[in-house]
Structure 1
Amino acid sequence: MLPVKVFATPVKQEINVSQHYDVAAVRRNFPATENVVYLDAGLQTPLSLQVKEGIERYLQEAFETAGPKRVWLNRVESTREKVAAFLGAAPHEIAFTKNTSESMNIAANALPLRAGDKVLMIEGDHPNNAYAFLNLQKKGVVIECIPMAEVVNADSFRPFIDERTRAISMSQVTFHAGHRFDVASVGSLCEQTSLYFVVDVMQGIGVVPIDAKAMKATFIGSGTHKGLLVPQGLGLLYWDSAKIELEPAYMAAASLANPPADFIARADNMALPPSASRFELGNFNIPAIHGLSAAIDLINGIGIEKIQSHCFDLGDYLIHHLDELRIGLVGPRERQHRAPHIYVVALPAGEWLEYFTECGIRVSPERDGIRVSLGMFTTTADIDRLIEAIRARNVPSTQARTALLSKLG
């Protein structure tokens, strides 16, 4: 084990963690937070009472009546409207998918790219964004990656754009270090240079406000099991409906403008609708959509800006205590460039992950350390427990260390 040096007389500094909403009340909606110090919202959030009730409503109706299908489909459209408002888009620009990976693959294959065309990405971005485009290399599409940096904006991409460049694809927030990139400036650059712009917002959605129109994105893809609080198996796709030339790589009856009432496929009935339903294949994940409707209501009831501010304040609190311990932060420190809720602590995951698990603290291993990811339910007490666990591992006295671990529960 590599020791973490703890200084006996750290620099004193007062950190004021503001209360933007009643966090204790919100926390009661997430019972798992009473059983574990949950600092892993960047992997998946615990199930909330509201989402559980939404899914149970579906299950009860399915159990008792075998399903009021028309009622369920109406709720799908109602949830589509909620998602659209949440992203600053129109309902007809929202499609439901299975996950982020499917959304990004739909986007990549809808772009009218030919052999020799170039797509720009960021080196080390999430693989489920990257592989969707790397797979196009077999068609002769060129994928070029710009360097990963603490700050990525329009100026980062500009030198790499040439006459062959057709698109840029990137994440809004990185999963491995909590960078928050300037996607708005990149979107403006794409608009100026007539490039398609594809954005993966999976790590930011539900915590970071998203305005699809201000982002000037062609496509925005995301899953829902992190900031949107829903179990795995549901994704979202925003499509700029002004880009009517973009068509799906696959089709089903549900993709058509006029699905055949007699369920007979005809070559003269292939017209696509002017909506994002052209990218759907039908048979929605209806229970998850019930859950998503409840989740958006919960988030809107608190306020996305307040959730973001709460997580920023907690991040400041965490960084302060890491500084006291002289432990590094892998990603950016400044609010302007960091995600409010994702922090990678420079502790070797192979040496610390199991220890944190033994202490009842849920975190994730990442490329260069331990990822601490916050949610609307996280408190300063959760951060304190993490810091106490780090201190406990470095207390030389076995008795003192045991006492601290006992305090951690």
Structure 2
Amino acid sequence: MTDIAHQAQFAAFRRLFPAAQNQVYCDVAARGPISTTVRDAVAAHLDVRMSGRVDKQAYFDLIETTRDRFAGLINAHSDEVSFTKNVSDGINAVANALPWQAGDNVVICQSLEHPANIFVWQSLAQTRGIVVREVAPVDNAISADAVLNAIDDKTRVVTVSSVSFSPGLRVPMARLGRACRERGIFFLVDGAQSIGIARMDVAADMIDGLAVSTQKGLLGLYGMGFLFVRRTLAEAMRPAYLSRMGVDLGTAHEASSGTESSFRFAAGARRFDVGNFNYVGAVAVNQAMKELQAFDAAALESYVCGLARQLASKLEAVGAPLIAKSNDTRMAHIVAIGHGIGATHDSVDDSSLLALHDAFEAGGICHTIRRGVLRLSLHAYNDPTDIDRIADITARWVKKTAPTIRAAG
């Protein structure tokens, strides 16, 4: 596809999102907007439900189509994918199905992880006697060297976010995955901030488990997620929760029951499916993934991350403080304005940054405060006009607060 054709494809995609028309929407790291086509698909589904003419088999077919789509998105087999409520649900499913022994440890950089990937390990430390080995961040990022140096012969899990929720920097997945595979350590990834934007290849990156939600980069709804578990590992795991959907009963009706002595787990990660599915959520994310998969994956990532670099470059040019410069190889689709990561989730200590936050809100720039920085996160519905608008507001803020910025820096 030519550059002109790519530009036309991204422009057409942008037109599907009302949220990208009436404001500068740079908050996909919190939640993505939904397209008009996703809205229409959900409405059509609800209309059928409202009519009372429900075909349950069609619902199950939808689930399998959606499972297949997600598997294709991450280069996995469908049997390696299960449905969850969110990232927390997926991580808990894996963590509680592993054969822990007292004294085993998990390696994690808690100060840069979202709470979705923190509390489960603290709970297991109390209930199963595992050790949480904390890795300190290096230059506001999760350091592969630090993670690898923390591994010992009692390490059972290494868990990281593919892109940190704040300040939004990449983690060298393939390097960590390879090291974990060589040592027989389960490599568990929170992919919430990269899925749907940055390419994810669980085979190439040697990922053993991947948990994502659908309301961010996948542009779906809250209350649904996916869990990938490498099949050979999933087959050896016993889920903490089990329902009909996680049991192999062949072609028997979903309400059929077996005996405790005879039931078999469903193949691979399907054993983690619990109860009826979130069919509305599946309708939404199936349509959204269909739209995302119309793009060449490399072109989509290049476009979105390229916009982030353009934004960082323009903000640098006007003198704004950035956590990562435009030439930082760790950059993904998130630009963080500030002097450093703070301890509080949704506030800033710097009053000048609060003034820029207020200016963004007044100027129609949808963004969030996370860990002491202003977080601007982009997707394929953004375009260069959004970048110019953000840069213009920031330049006016810098002009007003330049002495304060220099003092803080």
Instruction: Give the TM-score category using the shorter length.
Output: 0.7 to 0.9
Deviation at 1:271, TM superposition (A): 2.6
Deviation at 1:220, TM superposition (A): 0.5
Match of 1:268 among 261, 264, 267: 261
Contact 1:258 1:269 in 2 (8 A): no
Q: How far apart in 2 are the matches of 1:190 and 1:97? A: 25
Match of 1:316 among 303, 309, 317: 309
Match of 1:300 among 275, 293, 305: 293
Match for 1:358: what amino acid?
A
Deviation at 1:252, TM superposition (A): 1.8
Q: 1:327 to 1:252 in 2, by over 3 A?
A: same
Deviation at 1:387, TM superposition (A): 1.7
Matches within 5 A, 1:326-337: 326-331=319-324, 333-334=326-327, 336-337=329-330
In the alignment, which residue of structure 1 is the partner of 2:25?
38
Match of 2:240 among 232, 246, 249: 249
Moved more, 211-220 or 89-98: 211-220
**Equivalences, count:** 379
Contact 1:103 1:237 in 2 (8 A): yes
In the alignment, which residue of structure 1 is the partner of 2:100?
113
The answer to whether structure 1 residue 159 and structure 2 residue 149 are counterparts is yes
Contact 1:121 1:143 in 2 (8 A): yes
What residue ranges of structure 2 are gaps of 5+ in the alignment? 340-349, 401-409
- Identical positions, percent: 27
Contact 2:155 2:185 in 1 (8 A): yes
Task: Give a deviation string over 1:144-170, Cα, whole Å, max 9, x none.
Answer: 011212464653322212121111011
In the alignment, which residue of structure 1 is the partner of 2:133?
144
In the alignment, which residue of structure 2 is the partner of 1:390?
394
Match of 1:128 among 116, 130, 155: 116
Q: How far apart in 2 are the matches of 1:240 and 1:86? A: 15
In the alignment, which residue of structure 2 is the partner of 1:56?
43
In the alignment, which residue of structure 2 is the partner of 1:86?
73
Please provide the CA RMSD for this pair.
2.1
Q: 1:395 to 1:213 in 2, by over 3 A?
A: closer
Q: How far apart in 1 are the matches of 2:143 and 2:370? A: 24
Moved more, 147-156 or 353-362: 147-156
Deviation at 1:308, TM superposition (A): 1.0
Contact 1:344 1:368 in 2 (8 A): no
Contact 2:356 2:397 in 1 (8 A): no
Q: How far apart in 1 are the matches of 2:146 and 2:363? A: 42
TM-score by length of 1: 0.87
The answer to whether structure 1 residue 342 and structure 2 residue 328 are counterparts is no
Task: Give a deviation string over 1:271-317, Cα, whole Å, max 9, x none.
Answer: 31222221011211101111111111111112221121112221221
Match of 2:284 among 278, 291, 304: 291
Between the two structures, name the one with larger relative contact order (CA 8 Å, sep ≥ 6).
Answer: 1
Q: How far apart in 2 are the matches of 1:257 and 1:209? A: 32
Q: 1:317 to 1:54 in 2, by over 3 A?
A: same
Match for 2:179: what amino acid?
L
In the alignment, which residue of structure 2 is the partner of 1:9?
none
Deviation at 1:47, TM superposition (A): 1.1
Deviation at 1:32, TM superposition (A): 1.6
Q: How far apart in 2 are the matches of 1:52 and 1:344? A: 31
Deviation at 1:227, TM superposition (A): 0.8
Moved more, 368-377 or 308-317: 308-317
Instruction: Give the secondary-structure state (helix, strand or coil) at the position aligned to 2:158.
Output: strand
Match of 2:218 among 221, 228, 242: 228
Match for 1:355: what amino acid?
A
Q: 1:186 to 1:298 in 2, by over 3 A?
A: same
In the alignment, which residue of structure 2 is the partner of 1:195?
185
Deviation at 1:99, TM superposition (A): 0.6
TM-score by length of 2: 0.87
Q: How far apart in 1 are the matches of 2:142 and 2:398? A: 37
Q: How far apart in 2 are the matches of 1:157 and 1:332? A: 24
Instruction: Give the secondary-structure state (helix, strand or coil) at the position aligned to 1:156.
Output: helix
Contact 1:96 1:280 in 2 (8 A): yes
Task: Give a deviation string over 1:329-360, Cα, whole Å, max 9, x none.
Answer: 11364353121x11101274533323321221
Contact 2:86 2:225 in 1 (8 A): yes
The answer to whether structure 1 residue 73 and structure 2 residue 66 are counterparts is no
Contact 2:209 2:229 in 1 (8 A): yes
In the alignment, which residue of structure 1 is the partner of 2:376?
372
The answer to whether structure 1 residue 180 and structure 2 residue 150 are counterparts is no
Contact 1:330 1:368 in 2 (8 A): no
In the alignment, which residue of structure 2 is the partner of 1:351?
355
Deviation at 1:263, TM superposition (A): 4.5
Q: 1:64 to 1:394 in 2, by over 3 A?
A: same
Q: How far apart in 1 are the matches of 2:370 and 2:227? A: 27
In the alignment, which residue of structure 2 is the partner of 1:402?
none
Q: How far apart in 2 are the matches of 1:174 and 1:369? A: 13
Q: 1:332 to 1:308 in 2, by over 3 A?
A: same
Contact 1:329 1:346 in 2 (8 A): yes
Match for 1:68: what amino acid?
D
